[in-house]
Amino acid sequence: MPRLQLSDAHRSRLREELAADNAWRSERARRLVDLGALIAMAAAVVDVVATYVALAHMAHDERNPLVDAAMRSIGLAPTLAFDALVRLGIVAVLAYIAVRAVRPVVRYLAAATIGAAALWWCVVVFANAVALARP
């Protein structure tokens, strides 16, 4: 497969879409993006650890058939490590976009997506904790 080559016009347009540094006017907004990314990353890591404890040391089953198939073929730890890396990568890319995007709509949507992911992963961590606490 040939390598994708970008034209000079396309490269200059990409440079116009992303600022060289922080695009937020206030430092508070930038810190909120950083805090949301930190919470999302922490929740993703805690979720992976709780899932490992639930599946490796207890009689719980994975309900997602795709993840279950991956766990059966390559193992529990590699599947969960890949899951954590994908989640951390998603949050890192969204944080980069939320900080450097020139268009305010793009910055706000990326920041809102980080917040939604952080909230969802916190709910999942809570659900895992409840599942682990049951006898």
Name the token pair of 87: 């989640």
Q: Quote the CA–CA distance of 52 and 35 in Å, as a whole number.
A: 26
Q: Which residue has the tokens 């917040």?
A: 115
* SS3 of residue 18 by DSSP: strand
Burial 20-57 (b: 16+ CB within 10 A, else e): eeebbeeeebbebbeebbebbbebbebbbebbbebbee
Alpha helices by DSSP H, 18-75:
27-57, 65-74
26 or 113, greater pLDDT = 113
Tell me the pTM.
0.77
Would you list the domain boundaries of the chain? Answer: 24-133
- Judged by phi (left if over 0) then psi (alpha if -120 to 50, else beta), residue 75 lies in left
Residue 115: pLDDT band with limits 50, 70, 90: very high
User: Are 55 and 76 a contacting pair, CB within 8 Å?
Assistant: yes
Residue 58 has pLDDT above 80, yes or no: no
pLDDT of 1 reads: 57
Helices (H) and strands (E) in the chain, counts: 5, 0
